[in-house]
Amino acid sequence: ISLYGSNGHTGIDAVALGGQEVYCSQRGIVDFIDTNSRSGLDVRIVSEIGGEKYRHIYEHLLGYMHSVGNRIETGQLVGWCDNTGWSSGNHLHFQVEKWIDGQWIPVDPAPLMANKFAKDILAINNKIKFLFEQIAMLADNIANFLRKR
């Protein structure tokens, strides 16, 4: 693991198996997908947290699941880890930037990270969505019953 700030490093590097799944850390909109010699294949997602705009970046990917403009939820698959770009082995470079004075400024991602696995958050959100759908169907059935009386 390489942490934010060490030798000017602007993200967190986590060792991963080639092809290991990478999940979205915060719901948002896919803002940019790029391949270049430094970061390899990277996906950038813009989110709003507490009324402030953040961009989370996933670099050195093998492939990705979404297109620019797609909405992505916390815990959904972003892509797969690899060794693309300037890299000495399979890993994920995870970087967070904050929109300040009209530009993206790298920030330490650690204070923004929760101790919950993103896929668990996705499962919870799906259960909540299902419950709301069930309540809406129940309300419709009650309304139809009352109309027939």
3-state secondary structure of 111: helix
Q: Give CA separation, 81 vs 5, 67, 108, in Å.
A: 22, 17, 21
State the pLDDT at residue 40. Answer: 92
> Quick one: how far is CA 127 from the chain centroid?
19
What is the tens place of the pLDDT at every residue in 86-125? 888 999 999 999 999 999 999 988 777 766 666 676 777 7
User: Which backbone phi and psi does 51 adopt, to 5 degrees?
Assistant: 80, 0
Q: Which H helix or E strand runs over 43?
A: strand 40-49
Catalytic option among 56, 66, 91, 93: 91
What is the tens place of the pLDDT at every residue in 85-97? 988 899 999 999 9
Residue 91 makes CB contacts below 8 A (sequence gap 6+) with: 13, 14, 15, 16, 60, 81, 83
Asked if 91 is an active-site residue, the reply is yes
Q: How far is residue 30's CA from residue 33's CA, in Å, rounded to a whole number?
A: 8
Q: State both tokens at 72.
A: 């992505």
Give the predicted TM-score (pTM) of the model. Answer: 0.76
